[in-house]
Amino acid sequence: MSTAISNPESPSAGKRHSALASVGLVLALFAGKLSVGLYAHSLGILAEAGQTAVDLIATVMVLVSITIAERPADADHPFGHGKFENFSAFLEAGLLLITGAGVAINAVRRLEAGGTAMRFTWWAVLVMAASLLLTAWRARDLMRAARRYSSPALEADALNFRTDVWTSAIVLLGLFLTGMGQHFRLHRHILDRADAGAALMVGLAMLGLAVNLARRTAGVLLDEAPSALLEKLRRQVTLVEDVDDCERLRLRRSGSRYFIDVRAGVARTLTLERARQVRDQIAARLHQVLPDADIMIDTLPRRPEQRDLFEQIRAIVQAHNLDVHEISVFELQGALQVEYHLELPSSLPLRSAHDRVSLIEAEIRRQLPGVGGVLTHIEPEGSDIHHAAPMNYAPMRQHIQALAAEIPGLLDCHEIQLRQSGGHLELTCHCSFPDQLEVAQVHARITQLETSLKSNFPQLTKVTIHTEPVSDNRR
């Protein structure tokens, strides 16, 4: 069951809406703070107005960067334009650093001069109180939008507004203390410095925010990846079946989107189809951590140090994109003799087929020094659909079941099918064995049955037997 959502807001539109709302609010706050700051001669309020001017420039930059970041990837920006958001946040840190330093220096000078000649007015209190409430609301709304859209530019703006909440509270406190000093004429030499002290704290807060913001955005611009996140992603890769290890995992962020580059080690005997499935499973696990990530996955065939001889032979043949079966290894006069069946395209000329076989045999002898001889049986790949006609010859079926009953451990023979195909007689059947009988023992009994069938029915050219445990309930 699915739920339809009417008129959903796209991430791009949502980010633009948040940025535009911030521009309007900051413009109004700047006008109010500048007016009352000049009227009241309050360095603290003017410092706040200066910070708000920086906020105004920053929010405009955020709006521009979000617009640019929406552009699709092109020849000059193959990873898209998302890093313009990070660059905008870095520029905002620079503006905060310059403004904060200027405010702090002026505050120190005012303190050294003995305080302030500020004119206390309730309008200043109302403006700063309103600024505090509006800024707190905007900081909360921006942080929600930043998390919803994974936008570093909006997050930087939200952190900026969150700092403004505290600096507005500090300025408001300094305003009250200065007003008390002027009204009650108590400890005036201390209270007169409250406004300048508030301005100094505003400047220091701006400097702290600038340093923190610059450190974070510089890390993204320089493709710094959080070690905890990398380890989490690497663990997801190694949890996939048939992945031996995660040889390489690189992570970079561009705006709100992550790009992941993975190289996973897998066994050389893995088929191309299984390797594709492994890549799909890795991507699915990584998307559980970073849903919108752009992922590139490479599976690297590995050669483990200790492997079975048969697996090594199979890996050498499969490296040539060919199928091999019925591998046999014999020890003959102190050397190993390898025999196997190799499938080649049916239309391949014998000379070309022999050249390919010779190359593979030489590779086996080179990689496996203990092998003295290699014998390859060439057979065509199955590529044609053959016409077959069923046969219903009851006496022959009964004879087949009687031969099967003579094989030790073979419990029953059923679903016997006889067919004529291309002038040849072919047989297929199902045989049941005890559940715990080993595959090698089952194969030995099936081989015995095939030999008996072909001996009693020389006209049989092909026998295919399907084995199943007696507990199988699909019959």
The answer for residues whose C-beta is within 8 angstroms of residue 222's C-beta and 6 or more apart is none
Decide which of 3.30.70.1350, 1.10.3110.10, 3.40.50.720, 3.40.710.10 is the CATH code for 227-302.
3.30.70.1350
pLDDT at 295: 87
- Domain 11-221 - what CATH class? mainly alpha
Question: Would you kindly state where each structural domain of the chain is located, as residue ranges?
Answer: 11-221, 227-302, 309-380, 388-469
CA distances from 201 to 8, 118, 197, 465 (A): 43, 17, 6, 87
pTM of the model: 0.43
Tokens of 403: 């031969």
AA identity, residue 116: T
Confidence of residue 87 (pLDDT cuts 50, 70, 90): low
Tell me the mean pLDDT in the region 287-312. Answer: 78
Torsion angle of C-alpha atoms 408, 414, 415, 421, degrees rounded to 10: 40
φ and ψ at residue 254, rounded to 5 degrees? -130, 105
Supply the mean pLDDT for the chain: 76
pLDDT digits (tens, 9 = 90+) for 249-274: 888 776 567 788 899 888 777 777 88
CATH, domain 309-380, list 3.60.15.10, 3.40.190.10, 3.30.500.10, 3.30.70.1350: 3.30.70.1350
In the chain, what is the greatest distance between 2 CA atoms, to the nearest angstrom?
125
What number is the average pLDDT over the span 34-44?
A: 67
Q: How far is CA 452 from CA 16, 417, 427, 463, in A?
A: 80, 17, 13, 11
pLDDT greater at residue 13 or residue 419: 419
Based on C-alpha coordinates, what's the Rg of the chain?
39
11-221 and 227-302 in the same fold: no
Q: Pick the more confident residue, 381 or 78.
A: 381
Pairing between β-strand 323-332 and β-strand 335-344 as defined by DSSP bridges: antiparallel
85-89, 319-323, 407-411: least confident range: 85-89
Q: What is the pLDDT of residue 465?
A: 92
Residue 413 is predicted with a pLDDT of 93
Which sign, positive or negative, has the C-alpha torsion 341, 347, 348, 350?
positive
> Confidence band (pLDDT; 50, 70, 90) for 75?
low
pLDDT of residue 306: 47
In the chain, pLDDT over 90 holds for what percent of residues? 16
Using one digit for the tens of pLDDT, what is the confidence trace for 358-408? 999 999 988 888 888 899 998 888 766 667 787 777 888 889 999 999 999
Give the rounded percent of residues in the chain with a pLDDT score beyond 70: 65
In the numeric block, the tokens 């048939």 are attached to 242
Measured distance CA(244)–CA(302) in Å, rounded:
8
Write the DSSP symbol of residue 14. Answer: H
- Considering the segment(s) 388-469 as one domain, its CATH architecture is 2-Layer Sandwich (3.30)
Question: Left, alpha or beta for 204 (phi > 0: left; psi -120 to 50: alpha)?
Answer: alpha
Q: Give the per-residue pLDDT at 267.
A: 79
